Structure 1
Amino acid sequence: MLYPGVQLYPLRPLKVFLAGVLALLAACAAPFDPDTRLSVDVPTRAEIAGVPLIRQEAFFCGPASIAMVMQWAGADVTQDQVAALAFSPGAGGTYTADMIGSSRRLGQLAVEIGTFDQLLAEVAAGHPVIVFQNLGLGVAPVWHYGAVTGYDFDRDEVYLNSGQEDRMVMPFAVFERTWRRGDYWGLVVLPPDRLPVSVGQTQVLSAAAALERVGQANAAETLYLTGAARWPDNWLWLFGLGNARYAQGDLAGARRALRQAQALAPDIPEIRANLATVTAELSG
């Protein structure tokens, strides 16, 4: 969802401009009222420790944001490594689809969110959220990715790691205005043994299947195991687990998972077919 012909700008040369624009927006912004704006119960303040501040290279706000949240989770990845998978030189930035795809090619669970309820629920749960904003004006857009790492209702503040050496602090209403211009697009990027709190299992299952499609069978296996523990009555998790293990050559493990899936759903023909294939290969 990088808009045609729109570049993502490095923040460092634009600090003075942005300071003026954000001050202008803040001057006419009403404080955020969680009682009327939210339908979820979250703490009055939350802040995620340990999300590194990475100063982005020019036009690498997207890769830098992914690197920040992956390093927070313990992965050894740099913004240059992410950019090799995600950055589009012709566009001068990173498309939202490539933000998702590159995260998955790096073995991460990646799911989109699009509401304040989801954003604040994830941050309150300790999950940083990547957001897409226009930090400029309609006549002078400044499209940018950053990672929301905290908020404080009493202080009317949202905290972001935004490609600089210090965190960005924004009033809620200013943050909402800049985020709304990016269609409220947000991305939760987590290791596959950790689940988001604001999306349902269908979206997580889709993310697991996407990991398989990009060749991350090991990460998919971990996510299917994590999902099966969270939703033990749904045979699809064990079915996916069997397929992920089969893709890695673990036939015995695949058979165990498929037998567990069949115990939950004995009438599903796809389970029977896959189980028959695995059993035949083990017998051969």
Structure 2
Amino acid sequence: MPATIANGLRQGWRLALCAAVLLLCGCSTLIPQTVALRTAWPAGVPQQVELTQVPFFPQKDYQCGPAALAMAMDYSGAKLRPEDLVDEVWLPSRQGSLQVEMLAAPRRHGLVSYHLAPQYTDLLREVAAGHPVLILQDAGLLFPEWHYAVVNGFDYATGTIYLRSGLEPREAMPFSYFERTWRAGHYWAMVVTPPDQVPATATEDRWLKALLGLARAGKPEATIRGYRAAVARWPDSLPASVGLANTLHDNGHLDEAAKVLRTALQRFPDSTIVLNNLAQTLSDQGRNGEALALIRRADETRSPFASEVRATRALIEERMKERTGS
């Protein structure tokens, strides 16, 4: 979705008008996911959850972004307050925060920002799993008024979503009205987790992309923890194993990198990437004889990585010549 500036609420919600607005607009077309929940509540999700331990920081002025993000990050272990995040996510010239800054800030503190799929069921599953969900919604009645808040609970029996929002530590909002405001922002939502806690709704591809963002933020040890969690969650994931081994290798943990690659090779004996990277790692440890045997195997495979294999083989052979002095 296009980047959206959220600048918070002036006075809080005017729920007295919610029902009238929905009646005028045609309920089922505005709240398709709420309608679906009435007949298909997600399996395994309890009907009542409230994460009361999520901290509450009231927003200052229009700074809903720093306030909402501080709540999610503090809950995940980074002891921060909104004022600590203002310079990271608040754009004075635009009087608000963009989603890209909201996703980037936790990574700078060693946490993973995971962008949820635009589904009500995923939001509910994350809250049920103990992860408060940071959302973007349109809080305006007549004109757009973008606002960040944190969903920390729900009650199916009463059809209520609970939020930490603006100046309200426990904003109660009907499922239907919440969806209307959330849908306006294309159901944008994110969770913030420690690297070793994979979100309940995470897919392999989305989690690995989130870890790339963490790596680019210069947090190698946190990235390693995230890849380890990925391998535990998706043991048959070749990209997770290769990503973990590469990050270990790049940060000098050669023994651990070799161990990860050997395990991966048992699962993927014909993987050119694993053969090449294990050969490189063994050569870097001075074990060039073993490395040469592996790179020869890789050389026999047909792969788009043939040029990388040739380069690794040339490096190994050069190192062996240097050792023998020939």
TM class by shorter-chain length?
0.7 to 0.9
Q: Where does residue 89 of structure 1 map in the other structure? A: 92
Report the Cα distance in structure 2 between the residues aligned to 1:238 and 1:54, rounded to whole angstroms: 39
Letter in 1 for 2:7: Y
Pick one of 125, 132, 156 that aligns with 1:128: 132
RMSD of aligned C-alpha atoms?
A: 2.2
Pick one of 154, 160, 166 that aligns with 2:169: 166
1:159 shift after superposition:
0.4
Conserved? CA contact 1:224–1:240, under 8 Å? yes
Pick one of 6, 9, 14 that aligns with 2:11: 14
Q: Does residue 271 of the first structure (1) align with residue 269 of the second (2)?
A: no
Residue-pair matches, total: 275
Aligned partner of residue 11 in structure 2, secondary structure: helix
1:274 shift after superposition:
2.2
Pick one of 18, 23, 46 that aligns with 2:16: 23
Letter in 1 for 2:196: D
Pick one of 222, 244, 249 that aligns with 1:246: 249
Q: Where does residue 58 of structure 1 map in the other structure? A: 61
1:282 shift after superposition:
2.0
Structure 1, unpaired ranges of 5+: none
Q: Percent identity?
A: 36
Conserved? CA contact 1:26–1:171, under 8 Å? no
Conserved? CA contact 1:48–1:150, under 8 Å? yes
| TM-score scaled by length of structure 2 | 0.77
Aligned partner of residue 74 in structure 2, secondary structure: helix
Report the Cα distance in structure 2 between the residues aligned to 1:28 and 1:233, rounded to whole angstroms: 49
CA gap 1:240/1:24 in 2 versus in 1, 3 angstroms: same
Report the Cα distance in structure 1 between the residues aligned to 2:179 and 2:108, rounded to whole angstroms: 30
| TM-score scaled by length of structure 1 | 0.88
Conserved? CA contact 2:6–2:98, under 8 Å? no
Query: What CA deviation, in whole Å up to 9, does each residue of 1:59-93 have, x standing for no partner?
Result: 32122212111111222223233333222222221
Letter in 1 for 2:131: H
Select between 192-201 and 172-181 the one with higher mean Cα deviation.
192-201
Structure 2, unpaired ranges of 5+: 287-318, 320-326
1:199 shift after superposition:
2.8
Q: Where does residue 190 of structure 1 map in the other structure? A: 193
Letter in 1 for 2:247: A
Report the Cα distance in structure 2 between the residues aligned to 1:238 and 1:194, rounded to whole angstroms: 17
Structure (1 or 2) with the larger CA radius of gyration: 2
Q: Does residue 140 of the first structure (1) align with residue 137 of the second (2)?
A: no
Report the Cα distance in structure 1 between the residues aligned to 2:186 and 2:3, rounded to whole angstroms: 11
1:272 shift after superposition:
2.3
CA gap 1:35/1:41 in 2 versus in 1, 3 angstroms: farther
CA gap 1:246/1:85 in 2 versus in 1, 3 angstroms: farther
Report the Cα distance in structure 2 between the residues aligned to 1:162 and 1:247, rounded to whole angstroms: 42
Q: Where does residue 101 of structure 1 map in the other structure? A: 104
Higher relative contact order (CA 8 A, sep 6+): 1
